[in-house]
Structures are given as structure tokens and as C-alpha cells.
């Protein structure tokens, strides 16, 4: 018999969204006509200027190690971007560039969470939060939200969830999977609560460029007292269509940034050298490049909302950001479909549409559809969903 694995490996689960996406791709490769509305990545190509910058870096031999926390030029560009776009003041010593925002999040949690700590997370939420908190030795305390509230929690819910073991709050705005955007007024209340109870705030702002109604608000920009306890996580994947480049970054109080850098030094060392050069080019792009993608996503969002109105039993809040909608489908469950998991499986196997069940995100009774897909695919995919639900 072989030696046992470490117990911590039992805390980890493969990404359910990637698993569903992989299954959809496998079915498509086998000849099935599959429309994928499950993807958590933009369907645009990376801007040409970004690709060219990385290619030039390779040809010039910029393929060696870099500082673990990122090249100085990129860290300065992050600071410039944060001030210009987010009203967030930071020094390069507060910036840690990582192999994607997921690693930035892991670095943050491992740096501030002790075994036994509790982390407050509004649900529905990205499933990675729960697994990473568990690996850090903590537990997630869910704060349930509903489609009726636009998936926004109340400050009273945060107060009720507080306990003697509460150590941190994770916020994700715009939110995956719901697209909810936290208003400034709510963020101010959460910030005051964190200050009063001496809590860390981990702000996952990866979708911050993809907002549709009002400008994005970074909680750390509300004042120095908030910034001193906030780790802000951003990256290139969603805003610049660079998911495979694996470049994310965190802006944190200096002592936290130092701890995150020390951890990263023993895990991956630096992010890929020439990908960092591409990220630098991305942060220097003319704003019109990202704006064009944002406007296209907005038009697709409105198209999807209009199409979903025609499906009986679907109740869909209007998302303020990201590229997801999360309809409440409870009225469609309990008969042919026991739950949202069964509905999602049926849609993939029998309608040829890949979506994500809400239970994966802590939002049972819902499904997540991504509109990071062509308009033709959105029309056909939603038409297939409607036909599948209306079939005897």
C-alpha cells in the first residue's frame, strides 16, 4: 500500500465550472452541436498591442527570472492605473504581481487567515473562495442573498454573521456569478464594520472594468483607515481578454504585500517574464480598447435579458457588471427537474447548452449563463433552453 496523501488535499475540489466547460468541449469534439454559455472568460482576442509587446520581449531575450513580485515597471503601472481609474493611492512596494488573480487571492488568504478563523462571504460566490479559505485553515460563513435584493447583502446580515472567530470579509464586485455591483453606500457600511471589529477586507475586483450603470467603487479608496486593512485584487484576465496569460496583482498594506511576496517566492517565484511585459502594455492601452469590449458586453447583456423574459418561470435580476446573468429558476424545479443541478445536466445532454448550476456557487435554485459568447449563440442557446423547458 502506498503512503497516504496529506489530509489537506481532501479539502480541494476541481473547479466545477472548468469541469462543465471541459465536458461541453468534449461533447463538441465528439460531433455534438453544443452551445457553451458556461465560460468565465471573454470571447475576444487579446489586443494586438499586448501580443506584440510580449512577442518583442521574447525576441529581445526577456525570458529570464524577474523579481518575484513583478518587474518594477509593471508594479509602477499598477499604481498609476489604480490612482487614475480607482482613486486608490499605492506605492510599488504594496503591489504583488502573481500568476493570475487566483494566486493573488490564495496569497492573501494564506497571509492573513489563521486556523480556526471565519471568513464572511456573501453568497452566491465564486467556489474558489471556500476551498482556498479551507486550505488556509479557516471556514467560510455564508451570507445568503436573493435575486429579490439583486443579490446584494444588507449590513444587518453582516452584523448578524459576526462572531468571535471572524477574521476577514471577502467582497467580489462586480460579482461572479450574479453580476451584482456593490453601491458605494453599502461599501462604506461594510468598511465601517471592518474597522470597528478589526477585520481584514479582501476585495476581489477582477471585473472592475466591466460595469454598466455607475463607475466601479474600490472599497480601499474610501480612506486610509480602510486601505490599511484591505487587500485589493485585480488582473488582466477579464478586462483585457488575457485569461491564459495568467497575470493578476494585489495592492495591499506593505506588511501584507511583503508576506504575500515571501509566500509566492516559495511557490511559483515570478510570473512569466514576457507575460508581464504584455500586462504592462495592457495597462497602457488606450481606454477605447477596453471600452469597446465593455460596450459589446452591455449590448449582449440587454439582449440576454430580453430573451430570458420569454421563458416562463425565469426571474432574472439585471446585473450591473461582469458578463453573467443568474436567473432564479425555482419555478421550473421540483417536477421534471429535482434541482438546478438536474436542470443543468438536462440542458447539456438533451438541449446541447452548457450553463452552470447555481448550487455550485452557493445559490441553489438558480443557473448562471455567461454572455461571453456571440449574439447568434446567445439567441440559439436561449431558444434551446426555452424549447427544453416547454417540451413534454
Q: Give per-residue pLDDT as tens, 216-239.
A: 999 999 999 999 999 999 999 999
For 69-83, write each residue's pLDDT tens digit.
Answer: 999 999 999 999 999
- Mean local confidence (pLDDT), 182-191: 98
Tell me the three-class secondary structure of the chain, residue by residue: CCCCCCHHHHHCCCCHHHHHHHHHHHHHHCCCCCEECCCCCCCCCCCHHHHHHHHHHHHCCCCCCCCCCCCHHHHHHHHHHHHHHHCCCCCHHHEEEECCHHHHHHHHHHHHCCCCCEEEEEECCCCHHHHHHHHCCCEEEEEECCHHHCCCCCHHHHHHHCCCCEEEEEEECCCCCCCCCCCHHHHHHHHHHHHHCCCEEEEECCCCCCECCCCCCCHHHHCHHHHCCEEEEEECCCCCCCHHHCCEEEECCHHHHHHHHHHHHCCCCCCCHHHHHHHHHHHCCCHHHHHHHHHHHHHHHHHHHHHHCCCCCCECCCCCECCEECCECHHHCCCCCCCHHHHHHHHHHHHCEECEEHHHHCCCCEEEEECCCCHHHHHHHHHHHHHHHHCC
- With a pLDDT cut of 70, the percent of the chain lying above it is 100
Task: Kindly indicate the confidence band of residue 392, based on its pLDDT and cuts at 50, 70 and 90.
Answer: low
Whether pLDDT at 171 is above 70 = yes
For 297-325, write each residue's pLDDT tens digit.
Answer: 999 999 999 999 999 999 999 999 999 99
Domains of the chain plus CATH, in order, are: 7-45+288-390 (3.90.1150.10), 63-285 (3.40.640.10)
- With a pLDDT cut of 90, the percent of the chain lying above it is 92
For 338-388, write each residue's pLDDT tens digit.
Answer: 999 999 999 999 999 999 999 999 999 999 999 999 999 999 999 999 999
The pLDDT, as a whole number, for residue 14 is 82
pTM flag (> 0.85): yes
The pLDDT, as a whole number, for residue 96 is 99
- Mean local confidence (pLDDT), 136-151: 97
Amino acid at each position: 500500500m502506498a503512503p497516504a496523501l496529506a489530509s489537506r488535499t481532501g479539502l480541494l475540489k476541481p473547479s466545477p465550472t472548468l469541469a462543465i466547460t471541459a465536458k461541453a468541449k468534449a461533447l463538441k469534439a465528439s460531433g455534438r452541436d453544443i452551445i457553451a454559455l458556461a465560460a468565465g472568460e471573454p470571447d475576444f482576442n487579446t489586443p494586438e498591442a499586448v501580443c506584440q509587446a510580449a512577442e518583442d520581449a521574447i525576441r529581445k531575450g526577456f525570458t529570464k527570472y524577474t523579481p518575484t513580485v513583478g518587474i518594477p515597471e509593471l508594479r509602477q503601472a499598477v499604481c498609476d492605473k489604480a490612482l487614475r481609474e480607482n482613486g486608490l493611492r499605492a506605492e510599488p512596494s504594496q503591489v504583488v504581481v502573481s500568476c493570475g488573480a487566483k494566486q493573488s487571492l490564495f496569497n492573501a488568504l494564506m497571509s492573513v487567515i489563521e486556523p480556526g478563523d471565519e471568513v464572511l462571504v456573501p453568497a452566491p460566490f465564486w467556489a474558489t473562495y471556500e476551498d482556498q479559505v479551507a486550505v488556509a485553515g479557516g471556514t467560510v460563513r455564508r451570507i445568503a442573498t436573493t435575486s429579490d435584493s439583486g443579490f446584494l447583502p444588507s449590513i444587518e446580515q453582516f452584523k448578524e454573521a459576526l462572531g468571535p472567530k471572524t477574521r476577514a470579509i471577502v467582497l467580489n464586485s462586480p460579482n461572479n456569478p450574479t453580476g451584482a455591483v456593490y453601491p458605494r453606500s453599502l461599501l462604506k457600511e461594510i468598511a465601517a464594520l471592518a474597522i470597528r471589529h478589526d477585520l481584514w477586507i479582501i476585495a476581489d475586483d477582477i471585473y472592475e472594468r466591466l460595469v454598466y450603470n455607475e463607475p466601479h467603487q474600490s472599497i480601499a479608496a474610501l480612506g486610509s483607515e480602510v486601505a490599511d486593512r484591505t487587500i485589493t485584487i485585480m488582473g488582466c484576465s477579464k478586462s483585457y481578454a488575457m485569461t491564459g496569460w495568467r497575470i493578476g496583482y494585489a495592492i495591499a498594506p506593505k506588511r501584507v504585500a511583503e508576506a504575500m511576496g515571501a509566500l509566492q517566492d516559495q511557490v511559483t517565484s515570478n510570473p512569466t517574464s514576457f507575460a508581464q511585459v504584455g500586462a504592462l502594455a495592457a495597462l497602457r492601452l488606450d481606454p477605447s480598447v477596453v471600452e469597446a469590449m465593455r460596450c459589446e458586453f452591455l449590448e449582449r447583456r440587454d439582449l440576454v435579458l430580453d430573451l430570458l423574459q420569454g421563458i416562463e418561470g425565469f426571474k432574472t435580476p439585471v446585473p450591473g457588471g461582469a458578463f453573467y446573468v443568474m436567473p432564479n429558476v425555482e419555478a421550473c424545479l421540483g417536477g421534471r427537474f429535482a434541482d438546478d443541478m438536474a436542470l443543468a445536466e438536462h440542458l447539456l445532454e438533451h438541449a446541447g447548452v452548457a450553463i452552470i448550476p447555481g448550487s455550485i456557487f452557493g445559490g441553489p435554485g438558480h443557473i448562471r449563463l455567461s454572455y461571453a459568447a456571440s449574439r447568434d449563440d446567445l439567441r440559439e442557446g436561449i431558444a434551446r433552453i426555452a424549447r427544453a423547458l416547454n417540451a413534454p
